[in-house]
Amino acid sequence: MANDAEIKSKTAKDEGGVLETIKVVVQALLIALVIRTLLFQPFNIPTGSLIPTLLIGDYLFVSKYTYGYSKHSMPFSPAVFDGRVWATEPKRGDIAVFKLPSDNATDYIKRVVGLPGDRIQMIDGILHINNAPVKRERIADFVTQDNWGRNASVTQYRETLPNGVSHAVIEREGDGGTFDNTVAFRVPPGHFFMMGDNRDNSLDSRDRSVGFVPFENFVGRAEIIFFSIEEGASAWRVWEWPWTVRWNRIFSGIK
């Protein structure tokens, strides 16, 4: 009888331990879901459309609360409500993640250059906002990779937007690229005009496949790079980190 009592006691303890473990795991998942939905969401950069500001292999946190919340703030964008709550409009120069308007599912990341009501046009590679050319100064060339993976120096400029936000842009094809001369775009109410800093290698609002981005489609603002690894390297190969991780980019703010 004593042995039976000991076995039952041990079984009860084991079951209690399993239930406690499940409880802790569920609580941790709920906390992670709340953080991801309301505060910060991690993203990685798979393309070079924002070179030189963001590089392929950068991992960053996006603040979900900056612009308020829409259905796209939640995983799988459930149709729980329309519009935004606690909304604060993006500022010119913000780098933001948004859902591609054509499918409301694909995540894109670009820079906000046009606000509702703005007139946006590219003329000979120079961004014009409301008929005024944006200040652009030539700086040292940027070294990146060409289509064959070889290092190549490309023309780089320091661009200063009307509100004083200054950032670097590159022109791989000079000022005669596909989208270096465009029609004039009038940004509709409640929409924004987005562009990449890699002006000749960015699918953005200059192309009708992206177009103007509704405020509702914004997911959040890019804030900080928390990890960065060389293009083509594998993050899981920890033993290669000493020479593949871009240590100087970790915990750097995004502007």
Return the exposure string of 131-154: e unless at least 16 CB atoms fall within 10 Å of the residue's CB, then b. eeeeeeeeeeebebeeeeeeeeeb
Q: Give 90's DSSP letter.
A: P
Separation between Cα atoms, residue 96 and residue 192, nearest integer Å: 11
- How many CA atoms does the CB half-sphere of 62 hold within 13 Å? 27
SS3 169: strand
Quick one: which of 69, 52, 49, 62 has its CA closest to 97? 62
Question: Active-site residues: which are they?
Answer: 49, 110
Integer Cα distance of 13 and 5 in angstroms: 12
CB contact at 8 A, 22 and 184: no
> Which structure tokens are listed for 187?
């940004």
Q: Which two tokens stand for residue 243?
A: 């020479």
